[in-house]
Structure 1
Amino acid sequence: MALAPPVAWQDLGPRTAPSTAPAAAAAAPAELANSWKHIRNVVSTDARQADLYDLLSHSVRETQYSFTPAGWPSLVRPLSPVLAEMPGMVLERYNACQTVAFCGVFPEIKRAWASVDNSLFLWRFDKWQDVPIEYGGEEQAIVAVGLARPRPGVFVEAIQHLLVLCTTTEIVLLGVCCSPGPGGSGDACEELTLQPLPLYSVPADNVTMVSVASTADGRIFLGGADGHLYELQYSAADSWRSKRCQKICHTGGLRQLLPSFLPSFLFGSPSALVDICCDDQRHILYTRSQASVLQASGVFDLGSDGKAAPSKVAESGDFLADAARALGGRDVFGRGGGDRKGAAVVYMAPIPPSQSHRLHLLTVTADGRRVYWAAASSRYGSDPAGPRPDRLRAEVARQAMPSSAAAGGLGRIGGAGHAPARGLEVVAAHYSNGVLLLAEAAAGESRTRLFMLSRDLTIPPVGTATGAHVAVAGLREAVSQLEVPTPGEACAIRSVPRPAPLLLGGLLETAVRDELTSQNLGVAPRFVMVTTAGVLEMEKLRPVDVLAQLLEQRDATKLEVFFKSYGPAEAAAMCILLATAGPPQASATVVAQAKAALDNPRLCGEPQAS
């Protein structure tokens, strides 16, 4: 990808200097332009990181996980010391609930949502005691809710999103209009209104929808309790080929034409399609059905341009058997594979090409074990988008984080003391840019414990797994835990979109970059978790954020450990970042301590002439 310099730099280059100007001043623009080219080349080179498959396949079992050293802050930090409770209006309606209630979050519009019976509530999760918007235009109970971007040219420009409401009798689209506050105050989502679209609703035809997913170009897919994959197609007007809004079943075949009582008798009870996720870059759709305790996963090809009708090309009908055949699967899932309840898949997410060209899908089990899959193709062709998938193969299995983590233990993990976290009971999960969040129900309490697994960027320790002193290779993950359990049971976890960096933003989007190279170009990653008690915003501490807290503590021992963990060069670069940041990014104490650390030869070493 071509990287253009900032607008202010585009005109910089060799020029003929006025005869009265010094030679140094004439060379300054050229030197600045050359500096920009050097930065661009360094960023481009750094973007070519190791494939996730290579990192996983070279991992040493005994050193796959680590904990932050004693005295360091947890890498996951809540933005508020207390949980933002559900609005009083929602709690009152929840206490009087007669049928069903659900909750979730839409970070795209900065709203949390809750449905109680036939009413839907939306409110800002980042504003204290925000008054929720209530929609009560449905007669039947709401059973599934989703958010989608509208297809271009179908609705007016003011409708920026579509709210998909599935009730027991129909499926309805609502227009979502976002705008700044009065006088342009606030962000782009300050004001929100729901626009009824009476022409965009279809009957449910006695099928309860249990999941909703959408693609980046506006296609809406629904998972039915009957186990079928549906699509809600919509257009600006009716045509001779299709209606303005219609529901299409992509997996029914001739079976959907049979009387309703025959399928249960002839084919057994249906398995609800509980989860759908879309890979917008490869144009692949993944589904997960609730089949007894274990799940069956399906792969649907949307064509090289993402506009074709979903075609089921592969599936995994026996999760344990497929996972056991993966790299490391015999150790993780073999020898009985643990209890069947713990091996149930509770979460899946696509892996973008920027992370791996060989791995396409991640699944997480109820006890925290992971399986990485490839939607591979056995064919070779000339399609510019690459060969389309026709099989699903488990590539790598990764053990759950240690049981000491689930028990709240700290310290580096050794091979002898490692045991799978059989006590972990994952109820919600989220994966984004190499960060995995796991929420589990605290035993005997109505509380949620949150764990975060992220790549350990410290200098690898010397391992002795093979009997020789070799540097540990592969993916090492740091295990962090939210220090205080969160009230309620986790319902959903999502990433909060971050603004693109002003400098190098276009290139940074093309690759998942480690924080050592990107922490000075953007803000810390943020997440939001919705529980049955409220909403919690949190952020992942970057290495520079950890350093700032250690500098604030003025603890020389902890600071020395940090410099040894990341190396003097990287740690000194972080000190420069903090020393030049100033308020509000860094307090006066942090700035002063960062400058002092740069002058400390015990930390940065003695200056050397090259």
Structure 2
Amino acid sequence: NPAVAMPAAMSPSVPTAQEALEIAGRSIDQQIKDDRCYPDLSELLAVPAPGSPTVSGMAAMDYPLQGPGLLSIPNLPEISSVRRVPLPPELVEQFGHMQCNCMMGVFPEISRAWLTIDSGIFMWNYEDGGDLAYFDGLSETILAVGLVKPKGGIFQPHVQHLLVLATPVDIVILGLSCANIQAGTGSLNDSMSGGMQLLPDPLYSLPTDNTYVLAISSTDNGRIFLAGKDGCLYEVVYQAEAGWFSQRCRKINHSKGALSFLVPSLLQFSFSEDDPVVQIAVDNSRNILYTRSEKGVLQVYDLGRDGQGMSRVASLSQKAIVSEAGSIARTIDRSVFMPIVQIAVIENSESIDCQLLAITHAGVRLYFSTSQFKHPTTRPRMLTLVHVRLPPGFSAASNVEKPTKVHRALYSKGVLLMAASENEDNDILWCINHDSFPFQKPMMETQMTTRVDGHSWALSAIDEFKVQKIVTPLNKDIIPITDSPVVVQQHMLPPKKFVLLSAQGSFMFHKLRPVDQLRHLLVSNAGGDGEEIERFFKLHQEDQACATCLILACSNTACDREVSAWATRAFFRYGGEAQMRFPSALPPPVSAGPFLGSPVPGGSPLTVDSPYTPSFLTTPGQGLQPSVSTPLFPSGNSMSHLGTPVSGMMGPEIVFSGRHNGICRYFARIIGNIWDGSIVAERVFKSGNREVIAVESSVPSHVLECVLQELKGLQEFLGRNSQFATVGALGNPSTPANLQQRLLGFMRPDGGSSQQVQQELQRKYHAEAQLTEKTSLQGIQQLVHKTCQALALWKLLCEHQFSVIVGDLHKELQERLKITAFKDLVIRDRELTGALIASLLNCYIRENGAVDGIIAHLQEICPLLYSTDDAVCSKSNELLQRSRQAQSKLDKEKMLRESLKEYQKISNQVDLANVCVQYRQVRFYEGVVELALTAAEKKDPQGLGLHFYKNGEPEEDVVGFHAFQERQVFRIPYYCYMQLNSYKCITDTLQELVNQSKAAPQSPSVPKKPGPPVLSSDPNMLSNEEAGHHFEQMLKLAQRSTDELFNIALYNWLIQADLADKLLKVTSPFLEPYLVRMTKIDQNKVRYMDLLWKYFEKNRNFSNAARVLAKLA
């Protein structure tokens, strides 16, 4: 069955809180898994292998917004409104003085636009047109410009970028530094805000040898490449100092061999064809370099695995590319495949299989691969055309005009921008992308066009923001190499920002995420309903649209309040409802009429064998092709509640609504980066000559804060909306085991199928589905609460000394923490969270800090993990620890008494053995007795254990037996799960005192070496007399207890310890019955009879004493 089954481990009634958490956790696991199963670009393009190329763009659904169909949303923008910033007025004036050449471009790394006019270069801030800087230290016309991040270890730290300028005569490399470094004088205006300043004296200068440079590009590791008009690829190699056989800076021709700099340039010119290299594109993620020539030749160079090598791998002529594209897309006029106007790399963060994209003047995209598929680390060895993607306008139903005269293009992480000449004065800017449909196969894209004043000179992406993947040993094998789609990360990823330069100025705009598009629709409709909003939910599918909607609905920003309310309305209006679905394999009983072949939502028309959906599509999951008899949410994006098979057939199933699945999906997206990773990471650093391993938080505190704020928004949303009422008021939800029986029970035995019966059935099915969904949502809500609190605790630990806190844990717990995922800390591992809290508090106590503040803070931020009882325990522990440092005996006594009073409040939750050991160390023996007795009483308040004992310990009294055991054996939930005998804590302490009182005093001995006397024993050890005194005091206190079971345990111990004389001094009403019972059941009856007659004699009951003696005789 393609629907996902809910676990069948639910009890027939409402699941327990822990079961609900486990079920919710599994739902989140599934959603995270689904979000990680996005297809690679090659899968979207339906390319199985490099040798099996494909074509797309001709089907109506390739661009669903291009036709007049139901999916079209006329008012759905792809890019924001364009903000135009005019050129600085001083620049406009300079155009009048131009004699030879001018060029324009963008340096997004330093937020600057640049313009060359003849031999001068100008830079300014494209955001506001300010901070104009210029450099006019060259005498020749500038032909090419490049900005380079320099190699490490060559320049002073303040030189953060190199500006490379090429003229017909020489190549000059200038340093770009931080503004606070004094750079000396020069023909440069004094500032470039953003902290950059151009150093006027060139760092390097070398001759061009008559090579006209047309483009300059660089790699992330500082290599500089030049595109030559002679058709060659050059590299500028630079170093700090000249060597024996190398200059500080030299030029290498990679097209003619490594020693080409020795060959006179005149000879080189005579051999080369006139096909200038016009573009260089570098893939820094794979260390591959591509070039494009004026005649459309594409070449591939392998820079080596480490990025330091250089070898030419493959070359493809324009003729070969057009021929191949024509054979792939046979029905398309081949003129659209040439010329290529731009190439763009596809980094490994976007695709494992496709490496290069070429865009033609008609907007056709040609995808290339350099190696076999599914081998992300393979070096390039070919250049093969694997897919032809036609632009909008090629489908039969399209009413969109095709792109023409594309002269500039930019491809960035799935977004294609193309500037096409409309006329001499204006450009049309195309935006095409698949951000809205990352899971849809084959690839579906949206498109938009907008008019731009002037001819576009440059187009660049700016503010590239990347979400850092949190990878730990626990989840490294399940996190994809490629980046998650925008729709998965849009709650934390700002919209992509772009700048276009023309002679009219800089044009700034954003590529809108789906959430920005929804906001636009809500604002333009001034509310949460309207046809366009409904279409948005249909276009994206209910659960995906609901998850997007929640980003706005959960926003706490003041400026978002109105939008948040509208988004909430849209969420509930268009998010669908839970419904019952019946598989077609299950024949409907006659009495049910046609209903058992279809889902039954309230008050809606029914169709046999297909789930009801208000959408025009039968399957609004990720797939958009209509199909029959499929679940509402296909595999990978669904959650449902499955019935059990009856007579070999699958039972009915509840399909959750888009609202339910949207909540799960949004929660999964907020937490997905840290959910299945561990919270600790080992970092190795050097301390002197040795390596030290430190355990740190796997996630920085500021990232945890961001996740926590997002999650709190969801928590408040769930709290605000009463739609998630408690299940108790609604009755019990069905479980897989009883769902089918209940539904069949809804039917009338007489087989009536009147309209009234049908409506009643419909209503009951609907109520059943609603109820099951509500139960599931409460589990999710509880999981959100608990996750928020676990995150808050983790963040608090990071704000303190995380390494120290973890380092103070027991070694076993430290090892367990390394292999425990965050989700397990949230859902089930209370012991580890308790241990971390205890360690945090111990840090405060050790440094003599007051713990009241941190205790109150813990109770505020994570009450589910740190309860009031835990706080009492922490306070008691603090008093106990501080008593050790108390100066006066009175203060010490007072602190110990207070700690005992606090421990007694929560005695059934205390690590009794540990506390008793500490009380023994500070000689607070009465604390041992009183705490252990309180703990025993709280564990069995009804005295069931005593009842069991007095009835002769019958085997059938299971409850009594457990109570009897509970009084003696305790489970400790806070510090460590150990079984402890509470009475044994008292008898062990008594035994220790007896042993010490009988120990032989240490005899003086001759020292083994000269010097001060060596202490051969613990100075705090009790003397024999002290031990004897404490024993008597403790025994006297213990005898006062009215706990009969404890008295019996005490008597047993006294006899085993050979202290029968002490037993006979006991004045307790429990002693006589004890002795009488033991004479009847103990194997050593004589011993107990001997004690019994002595007891009677001591109490002057001579007749009974005589009777016992007679029996003994």
* TM-score, normalised by the number of residues in structure 2: 0.45
Q: 1:41 to 1:229 in 2, by over 3 A?
A: farther
**Aligned counterpart, 1:425:** 405
- Does residue 116 (structure 1) correspond to residue 82 (structure 2)? The answer is no
Q: How big is the shift at 1:417?
A: 4.3
**Aligned counterpart, 2:533:** 559
**Aligned counterpart, 1:325:** 324
Instruction: Decide which of 64, 67, 71 is 2:65's aligned counterpart.
Output: 67
Q: 1:120 to 1:242 in 2, by over 3 A?
A: same
Q: Deviations over 1:231-283 (max 9, x none)?
A: 11111111113111111111124887766566666x46421110001111221
Q: 1:247 to 1:475 in 2, by over 3 A?
A: same
Q: Which amino acid aligns with 1:609?
A: L
Instruction: Decide which of 426, 443, 456 is 1:447's aligned counterpart.
Output: 426
Is the CA contact (8 Å cut-off) linking 2:355 and 2:370 kept in structure 1?
A: yes
CA distance in 1, matches of 2:37, 2:571: 30
Q: How big is the shift at 1:163?
A: 1.0
**Aligned counterpart, 1:140:** 140
Q: 1:458 to 1:286 in 2, by over 3 A?
A: closer
Q: How big is the shift at 1:538?
A: 0.8
CA distance in 1, matches of 2:522, 2:400: 35
Is the CA contact (8 Å cut-off) linking 2:36 and 2:480 kept in structure 1?
A: no
Q: 1:369 to 1:500 in 2, by over 3 A?
A: closer
Pairing 1:490-529 to 2, within 5 Å after superposition: 490-501=456-467, 510-529=481-500
Q: 1:248 to 1:357 in 2, by over 3 A?
A: same
Q: How big is the shift at 1:161?
A: 1.2
Q: How big is the shift at 1:95?
A: 2.0
Instruction: Decide which of 402, 426, 448 is 1:480's aligned counterpart.
Output: 448
User: Which of these two proteins has the greater Rg computed from alpha carbons?
Assistant: 2
**Aligned counterpart, 1:52:** 41
Q: How big is the shift at 1:344?
A: 0.6
Q: 1:336 to 1:590 in 2, by over 3 A?
A: closer
Is the CA contact (8 Å cut-off) linking 2:78 and 2:511 kept in structure 1?
A: yes
Q: How big is the shift at 1:418?
A: 7.4
**Paired-residue identity, %:** 31
**Aligned counterpart, 1:14:** none
Q: Which amino acid aligns with 1:116?
A: I
CA distance in 2, matches of 1:391, 1:331: 19
**Aligned counterpart, 2:577:** 605
What SS class does the counterpart of residue 355 from structure 1 fall into?
coil
CA distance in 1, matches of 2:104, 2:425: 16
CA distance in 1, matches of 2:152, 2:418: 36
**Aligned counterpart, 2:102:** 101
Is the CA contact (8 Å cut-off) linking 1:264 and 1:270 kept in structure 2?
A: no
Q: Which amino acid aligns with 2:368?
A: W
**Aligned counterpart, 2:506:** 535
**Aligned counterpart, 1:550:** 521
Q: How big is the shift at 1:180?
A: 9.0
Q: How big is the shift at 1:333?
A: 6.8
Q: 1:234 to 1:373 in 2, by over 3 A?
A: same
Q: How big is the shift at 1:44?
A: 6.5
Q: Which amino acid aligns with 2:569?
A: A
Name the structure where strand makes up a greater proportion of residues.
1
Q: Deviations over 1:353-401 (max 9, x none)?
A: 23322221110111111111112379x9xxx984433321111112233
Q: Deviations over 1:517-542 (max 9, x none)?
A: 11112111111111222111111111
CA distance in 2, matches of 1:192, 1:35: 52
Q: Deviations over 1:132-174 (max 9, x none)?
A: 1111111111110011111010111111111111112111111
**Aligned counterpart, 1:206:** 210
Instruction: Decide which of 369, 373, 389 is 1:398's aligned counterpart.
Output: 389
**Aligned counterpart, 2:245:** 241
* TM-score, normalised by the number of residues in structure 1: 0.79
What SS class does the counterpart of residue 535 from structure 2 fall into?
helix
- Superposition CA RMSD, Å: 3.5
Q: 1:203 to 1:259 in 2, by over 3 A?
A: closer
Is the CA contact (8 Å cut-off) linking 1:459 and 1:565 kept in structure 2?
A: no
Q: How big is the shift at 1:60?
A: 6.7
Q: 1:335 to 1:458 in 2, by over 3 A?
A: closer
Q: How big is the shift at 1:473?
A: 3.3
Pairing 1:157-176 to 2, within 5 Å after superposition: 157-176=157-176
Is the CA contact (8 Å cut-off) linking 1:324 and 1:333 kept in structure 2?
A: no
Q: 1:36 to 1:605 in 2, by over 3 A?
A: closer
Q: How big is the shift at 1:509?
A: 10
Q: Deviations over 1:197-255 (max 9, x none)?
A: 53411111111110111111110100111111111111111111311111111112488
Is the CA contact (8 Å cut-off) linking 2:174 and 2:203 kept in structure 1?
A: no
CA distance in 1, matches of 2:176, 2:340: 33
Is the CA contact (8 Å cut-off) linking 2:288 and 2:303 kept in structure 1?
A: yes
Q: How big is the shift at 1:97?
A: 0.4
- Does residue 284 (structure 1) correspond to residue 264 (structure 2)? The answer is no
**Aligned counterpart, 1:365:** 360
Instruction: Decide which of 365, 371, 374 is 1:376's aligned counterpart.
Output: 371
- Does residue 591 (structure 1) correspond to residue 753 (structure 2)? The answer is no
Is the CA contact (8 Å cut-off) linking 1:452 and 1:480 kept in structure 2?
A: yes
Q: How big is the shift at 1:298?
A: 0.9
Is the CA contact (8 Å cut-off) linking 1:324 and 1:332 kept in structure 2?
A: no
Is the CA contact (8 Å cut-off) linking 1:348 and 1:364 kept in structure 2?
A: yes
- Structure 2 residue runs of 5 or longer lacking an equivalent are 1-16, 48-55, 67-71, 182-191, 579-656, 658-769, 773-1113
Q: How big is the shift at 1:503?
A: 8.4
Is the CA contact (8 Å cut-off) linking 2:215 and 2:280 kept in structure 1?
A: yes
Q: Which amino acid aligns with 1:492?
A: A
Q: 1:598 to 1:477 in 2, by over 3 A?
A: closer
- Structure 1 residue runs of 5 or longer lacking an equivalent are 1-23, 182-187, 404-413, 461-471
Equivalenced residue count is 532
What SS class does the counterpart of residue 76 from structure 2 fall into?
coil
CA distance in 2, matches of 1:509, 1:144: 39
Instruction: Decide which of 417, 427, 434 is 1:437's aligned counterpart.
Output: 417
Q: How big is the shift at 1:177?
A: 2.0
Which protein, 1 or 2, shows the higher relative CO under an 8 Å CA cutoff with sep ≥ 6?
1
What SS class does the counterpart of residue 369 from structure 2 fall into?
strand
**Aligned counterpart, 2:4:** none
Q: Deviations over 1:291-321 (max 9, x none)?
A: 2xxx11111111221101x22121002x243
Is the CA contact (8 Å cut-off) linking 2:148 and 2:162 kept in structure 1?
A: yes
* More displaced stretch, 190-199 vs 244-253: 190-199
What SS class does the counterpart of residue 142 from structure 1 fall into?
coil
Q: 1:152 to 1:169 in 2, by over 3 A?
A: same
Name the structure where helix makes up a greater proportion of residues.
2
Is the CA contact (8 Å cut-off) linking 1:212 and 1:220 kept in structure 2?
A: yes
**Aligned counterpart, 2:156:** 156
**Aligned counterpart, 2:334:** 337
Q: Which amino acid aligns with 2:151?
A: R
